[in-house]
């Protein structure tokens, strides 16, 4: 399985911290934010990685990560997103890199307490369709900022609702997704959303619609360090006290 770490975007929700750098280069405890995503994938057994970024600070990722060997990466590639066009568009830039392999995609501002290896192993054993990671979320207000799954009586996801006013469950979709190689064909069928972006929720709902969406529920802490200034410092405080990516 190959890994794609998405580290683009303008980071507007973390202004003014991001006026002079990419948000994924900001520190989380004792290292740059993106280093935690790299560690998560490498610890899960994925060592063939691509980092997709953009903007004026893209070169800083090369300076930080180099060829990746110091971080346990066997092969590290880079992709450049010329303008913010959504998560699905950024993933589309990795098509040649991924080729015919299954792929795990992780947003670089996602920080998890526990290893994602169980999900990687489960998808590796049956790499068809898609497999995503959910997390329990307390508070309707927080759910209103996430993708939220709707379940049927058997516990299957029947729809993912993006930023719902009335959340259909108490689970949020994290920024960690596994896909079969045909995900790039799905991306090519997407139409831009109202904000002019190709949405990853539309990709996920495609797999829901064809009955090939699986999921795991994350144990332990999950944080989106790019969600807001408050969330950024909450993640910092948690990692300083408890660490991340633990087996």
Q: Could you tell me the CATH number of the domain that includes residue 11?
A: 3.90.550.10
Instruction: Answer yes or no: are the C-beta atoms of 3 and 104 closer than 8 Å.
Output: yes
pLDDT in tens, 113-135: 999 999 999 999 999 999 999 99
Show Cβ contacts of residue 8 under 8 Å, excluding neighbours closer than 6 positions.
Answer: 52, 53, 54, 55, 81, 84, 90
Q: In this structure, is residue 94 part of a structural domain?
A: yes
- What mean pLDDT is predicted for residues 22-29? 98
Number of domains in the chain: 1
Q: In this structure, is residue 34 part of a structural domain?
A: yes
Whole-Å CA distances, 44 to 66, 120, 129, 151, 168: 21, 7, 20, 28, 31
Which pLDDT score, from 0 to 100, does residue 2 have? 98
Which pLDDT score, from 0 to 100, does residue 195 have? 86
Q: In this structure, is residue 35 part of a structural domain?
A: yes
Name the residue range of residue 120's domain: 2-242
- What mean pLDDT is predicted for residues 138-163? 96
> What does the block give as tokens for 26?
């900001």
Which pLDDT score, from 0 to 100, does residue 186 have? 98
Which pLDDT score, from 0 to 100, does residue 23 have? 97
Q: In this structure, is residue 247 part of a structural domain?
A: no
**What pTM does this model have?**
0.97
Q: What is the mean pLDDT of the chain?
A: 97
Q: How confident is the model at residue 32 (pLDDT cuts 50, 70, 90)?
A: very high
Which pLDDT score, from 0 to 100, does residue 7 have? 97
pLDDT in tens, 188-234: 999 999 888 999 999 999 999 999 999 999 999 999 999 999 999 99
Q: In this structure, is residue 43 part of a structural domain?
A: yes
């Amino acid at each position: 399985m190959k890994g794609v770490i998405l580290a683009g975007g303008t980071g507007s929700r973390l202004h003014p911290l991001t006026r002079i750098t990419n948000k994924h280069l900001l520190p989380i405890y004792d290292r740059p934010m993106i280093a935690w995503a790299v560690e998560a994938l490498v610890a899960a057994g994925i060592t063939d990685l691509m980092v997709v970024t953009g903007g004026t600070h893209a070169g800083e990722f090369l300076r930080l990560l180099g060829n990746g060997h110091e971080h346990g990466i066997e092969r590290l590639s880079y992709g450049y997103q010329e303008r913010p066009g959504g998560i699905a568009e950024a993933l589309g830039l990795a098509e040649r890199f991924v080729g015919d392999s299954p792929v795990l995609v992780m947003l670089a501002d996602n920080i998890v307490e526990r290893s994602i290896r169980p999900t990687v192993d489960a998808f590796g054993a049956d790499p068809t369709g898609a497999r995503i990671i959910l997390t329990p979320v307390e508070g309707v207000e927080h759910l209103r900022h996430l993708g939220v799954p709707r379940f049927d009586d058997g516990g299957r996801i029947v729809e993912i609702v993006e930023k719902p006013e009335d959340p259909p469950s108490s689970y949020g979709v994290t920024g960690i997704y596994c896909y079969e190689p045909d995900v790039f064909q799905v991306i090519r069928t997407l139409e831009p959303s109202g904000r002019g972006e190709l949405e990853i929720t539309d990709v996920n709902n495609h797999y829901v619609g064809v009955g090939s969406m699986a999921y795991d529920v994350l144990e332990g802490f999950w944080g989106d360090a790019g969600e807001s200034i408050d969330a950024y410092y909450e993640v910092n405080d948690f990692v300083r006290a408890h660490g991340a990516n633990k087996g």
